[in-house]
Amino acid sequence: AALDLIADTVEAESAVRAALGEWRNEYQFQAHERRTPGIVYSPHGQLLATFSEDNTAKLWQLDPDGQLPLPEQDPLILTHDGSISGLVFGPNNERVATSSRDRNLRIWEVATGELLFTLPHEHPEGIRGLLLSPDQDTLITRSGGNLGFYSLRAGTHLKTLQATSNLRTLNFMFGGHLIVTGADDNTIWLWHEPTGRHIQLPGFDHWVEAVQVSGDDHFLAARTPSGTLYVLKAPALQTPSDFDSLFAPPAEIGDESGEHTVSSNRAEFTLLFSRPNDAAWTNAFSPDSQHLAVGGTDGSIRLWLLHDLEAPPKTLLGHTQRVEELTFSADGQLLASTSLDGTTRLWRTARGEEVARLRTTPYYGRGVRFTPNGRLLVNSDERGILYFWRALAGSDIGFNLTALTPPRSLVLFADRAGPTSLVSQVATVGEDGQIDLWQPQTGETTLLRAGQQRLEAIAAAGDGTVLAVGAVAGMKQEKGEITLLNRITGEVQRAWPAHRNGVYALAFLPDGETLASAGGDAMIRVWRLSNGELLRTLEGHQNDVHALAVSPDGQWLYSAGIDGTVRQWDWRTGIEADQWVADTAFLTLAVSPAGHFLAAGGYPPGVGSNQQDNAVVTVWDLRTGQRYLLNHGLEPIHAVAFSHDGRLISGDESGRIRLWRIAEKQAVQIAAHNGWVSDLAVSPDGRLLFSVGADAYVRGWPLEHNAVLALACQRAQRALTQF
């Protein structure tokens, strides 16, 4: 077979995994002959529409995942006599409307490409903007100072609203009742769609080039050619009387002296702040209306918190020329930017850090969008080539999950009703008592709570229904608590104080009735699950105990501590049966599935000093007593695990994961995280490895050699050949 042409060696697998880790370009093709500023996904996710300055719009059928165009299917081509300026899908994707500089609005049948209606405009500059109202029938066009209203269903002109100045942008607010446009007369025009009334918001230093509306309708962000940024607070408008108040003129009120003053109870937009000459060129609100991103002519991106605009923004540096476009992922956790410097970059919103630089080209990107499921990023360049990029780096199986804070530990759950390979949920713990339950295939998350302290440990009972989490001690708590929760309902069943300084490790014991814990008081304790009763304490370690593992036959409990010992216990009696000593402050421990090997890792000897040695994973063969020392470099080791076939896996503070061949003392390396690897877990069928890291990512990786090669073929869109 072709897969056999690449040998199953450390060097070969390392090379393939390294290439996959850097290879983000999933797919590219020539979509148009000229610049392609428009990329639109249909509401049902089965069609991708692109439109271009080559006078065409194209509708592309997508694969079953709704991500990539089907290469064997020709697109449906819609034509105009000028460059296309807008495209919208109608309800049920039965019709699509296109607008053009050729001064025509056209309505097409999606199934056949038949042109149903052509609606001409008289303005010499043609149509510059197009929207579909929330009623899913009214098309609104912008041309010069006119707003045109048309029926998508009937193909008829409904009305025209005229401004006294050229209009530059077109947006909706408040469910389509309010239309927002920037204008050349240094104002924003607000139009009440049902009545045609309008007001103007003055006070801008130049014409208003663009106005963006936050998703919750609370904010407007406007910018002018001087690079000045304005942020306005919108009034609450819900009822017809609220809108009447917005458009009502100020009233003169007389007093007894005959003096007249101007008073108004009208609803008003309030200027929150302006940033004169701030180099603002493009801006975008996050979908959750928490952030405003502003891209500058100087290549910088500033990220503002909308609930605290007085605080300095995060400044994202990396682009060397003007930022052309910004867009957020659907969950608001990632920001994508394109620039005249030829790069498309991804940034993490929470930290303001660059996640990835997706490409460098002399043809800068346009029309950047995330695919509906958020896994891919789509953009085009000046030549009309469309690019699809993996939105998140490093994962060899196509998904990453992003936590708000770095997870400390994780556990996996299998869908017992489905294939054994399907990991139905990944649970992680981190700051502030938060437990995240992730759906790996969709990225959806459910949040559970267990107190307010940072959680360090998590374990699951046999059927996965009951979770146990362990917390560090708090300012008002001498001991870290153990909390039991129902994973399905989120209900906290019980909680109790367990260890001074904190609970660092947990393990459910095979009788189904007891739980072992270890912590910062050098103790291991065994608890009765039904009532939290302490059954016995296992004493022997001289310092913090950071890891626990249960032997496959359930007879033994293993522990590892920073006193440099790994100990074997009869958990039923509390008697220590064996002990292994090494020159390492141990942080992590694992036993192989067959029970033949025990592995531990931690801080290297002399850490923090000039005499620091390399960190090692220490492996004991429990059958022969032989010890292996696997060199890990200078970085402390925070996680070890075994695959189902007995392959050792380790992760360290450099963010690298190593897949070991113990006898040869060689390892395949994966650049997994930016920051240390906190924990590792193998899927129930042994095919996938999951990792969590200090960069707040949960990532998945294929373990099998052939699976890695098959993925390489999939990415390359071709089979392996001999030459």
The closest of 672, 682, 666, 629 to 652, measured between CA atoms, is 672
Which residue from 662, 610, 652 is spatially nearest to 632, judged by alpha carbons?
652
Q: What integer best gives the mean pLDDT of the chain?
A: 85
Sheet arrangement for strand 423-429: 409-414, 423-429, 434-438, 445-449
Distance of CA 663 to the CA centre of its chain: 39
Residues 528-549, mean pLDDT to the nearest whole number: 96
Q: Could you tell me which residues come within 8 angstroms of residue 573 by beta carbon, excluding any fewer than 6 positions away?
A: 536
Cα distances (angstroms) measured from residue 102 to each of 56, 97, 123, 505 = 12, 14, 10, 68
Reduced to 3 states, what is the DSSP secondary structure of residue 3?
Answer: helix
> For 100-122, what is the mean pLDDT?
93
Tokens encoding 247: 């458009």
Domains of the chain in start order, with CATH, are 415-555 (2.130.10.10)
pLDDT at 335: 92
Calculated CA dihedral for residues 215, 219, 224, 226, nearest 10 degrees: -120
Alpha carbon distance 711, 705 (integer Å): 10
Q: Pairing between strand 366-370 and 47-51?
A: unpaired
Higher pLDDT, 356 or 460: 460
Strand, coil or helix: 123 = coil
User: What is the rounded CA–CA span in Å between residue 425 and residue 413?
Assistant: 5
Per the CB < 8 A criterion, the answer to whether 638 and 607 are in contact is: no
For the segment 98-112, the average pLDDT, to the nearest whole number, is: 95
Answer whether residue 175 shows pLDDT above 90: no
Span of 49-63, 508-522, 602-616, 645-659 with lowest mean pLDDT: 602-616
Percent residues over pLDDT 90 in the chain:
52
Helix/strand/coil percent split, the chain, to 5:
5, 50, 45
Q: How far apart are CA 54 and CA 79, in angstroms?
A: 9
What is the pLDDT averaged over residues 358-370? Answer: 65
First to last CA, the chain: 14
β-strand pairing of 455-460 with 466-471: antiparallel
Q: Are 372 and 44 in contact (CB under 8 A)?
A: no
Which of 704, 625, 631 has its CA nearest to residue 665?
631
